[in-house]
Amino acid sequence: MRRDGAARIGLVSVSDRASGGVYQDQGIPALNEWLSGALTSAFEVETRLVADEREQIEAALIELVDQLQCDLVITTGGTGPARRDVTPEATLAVGTKEMPGFGEQMRQISLHFVPTAILSRQVAVIREADGHAALIINLPGQPKSIRETLEGLKDADGKPLVAGIFAAVPYCIDLIGGPYIETDEAVCKAFRPKSAIRPKTA
């Protein structure tokens, strides 16, 4: 049972080797750690570790949204140009609306660190099914890149220089009928129009 008002977040790590037990997955722990530090409102997590197989990725995304009623699903891994990298294809296949701004901003952030950011193919979509909608976002596979992409770039005093993508996530969840997500502004300030801001919970 979902806790009252709690956001349900699905985390999907896509990796042949991690799913095969060759090494320990790093994507889901990195996402869990970041969310625990960034969100101040209640949330619960559902996790899936799958191979770089389009059918497995699609099945995990559909299950998390349609059956488990996740409001947000974040994938990590499988977004490069290699033959086995098919996470974006699987994500687009299950989406009902594409949200191209997320991918554009992720590449913009990563380009501040490495020129190979132009090789990343992360996408984001909305999936609507049976009256429920969720935002699905692809993230890179490395824990450092996950944090940078979500938080954005900050100067030495912690002042934001380039907005991370998570700043736009809570309002997107509002617009598709999901729960109200609040963040720790020291980590990532969620942006909402003034008319959409609610009084902070105790």
CATH number at residue 102: 3.40.980.10
Nearest CA-CA partner of 124 in 99, 104, 149, 148: 99
Is residue 63, in this structure, part of any structural domain at all?
Answer: yes
Is residue 123, in this structure, part of any structural domain at all?
Answer: yes
Is residue 48, in this structure, part of any structural domain at all?
Answer: yes
Res 160: pLDDT = 81
Is residue 201, in this structure, part of any structural domain at all?
Answer: no
Res 1: pLDDT = 61
Domain span at residue 121 reads 7-196
Q: pTM score > 0.75 for this model?
A: yes
Is residue 202, in this structure, part of any structural domain at all?
Answer: no
User: Which stretches of the chain drop beneath a pLDDT of 70?
Assistant: 1-2, 201-202
d(CA 6, CA 9): 9
d(CA 44, CA 121): 28
Is residue 180, in this structure, part of any structural domain at all?
Answer: yes
Res 17: pLDDT = 81
Maximum pairwise Cα distance, the chain: 50
Is residue 1, in this structure, part of any structural domain at all?
Answer: no
Q: How many folded domains does the chain comprise?
A: 1
Is residue 2, in this structure, part of any structural domain at all?
Answer: no
Res 194: pLDDT = 95
SS3 of residue 147 by DSSP? helix
